[in-house]
Amino acid sequence: MISPFLKSLPVAVLTTAVFAATLAGCAPAPAPSDSDGPTAAAATPTPSVPVEGEEGPALDMEAAILEREEFLDAQQQPRDGSLLSAKTPEQQEFIAQQRAYLESQGATWAPETESLLLATTLDACETAILNNHRTDADIFAMHVNSSPIFAQVTQGDAAAEQGLASIMVFGMSFVCPSDAEQWDAAYTEVYG
């Protein structure tokens, strides 16, 4: 299933070389805290039914898809392919902090950058929801490796990939904070 946010990415307009160089200097996301503000619809794990012979609860896709739709509605973002911009207080705080950091590193901020970072974060939150809020290093790596956003922006550059993944997890600490701790642990396991 393709995220509606992926349609909003005219990534070609983003100055990939400058942005990728900036991403290479990013640090891993901090662990979320209770002071991160109100949580999105993704905050409460969906109960699921165990499957015989499978470790842990099975994925409850019907509940996950319903939760995903509630999450998408709560994020107030267009689903028509237009650029994303920070709408909720959580998105606005994430973007304000990320913009200040990128500009301090010499990058020029553009609406395409904001859209890219929001889409990357929202897509990861969707993946967390669709996996019933169970993420490990394998799910994290599969998400990054199959993401058209990562492929287009990082163009195979490992440092840029790690930087964008760091920003993604940092954004999750605002947008879907209940999932950020697992994603941060998976980030650390994948990138060291």
> In this predicted model, what pLDDT tens digit does every residue of 111-160 receive, in sequence order?
999 999 999 999 999 999 888 888 899 999 999 999 998 999 999 899 99
Rounded Cα gap, residues 165 and 27, in angstroms: 10
Over range 98-119, report the average pLDDT. Answer: 93
Rounded Cα gap, residues 86 and 171, in angstroms: 12
Give per-residue pLDDT as tens, 51-86.
Answer: 444 444 455 777 778 877 887 878 787 777 789 899
1 has pLDDT over 80: no
Q: Burial level of 128, CB count in 10 A (0-12/13-18/19+)? A: buried
Rounded Cα gap, residues 187 and 172, in angstroms: 12
- For 189, phi then psi, to 5°, come to -70, -40
Interior angle at CA 184, CA 182 and CA 189, nearest 5: 95
Percent of the chain exceeding pLDDT 90 equals 48
- Amino acid found at 146: S
Rounded Cα gap, residues 51 and 40, in angstroms: 28
Rounded Cα gap, residues 184 and 96, in angstroms: 21
Rounded Cα gap, residues 96 and 14, in angstroms: 19
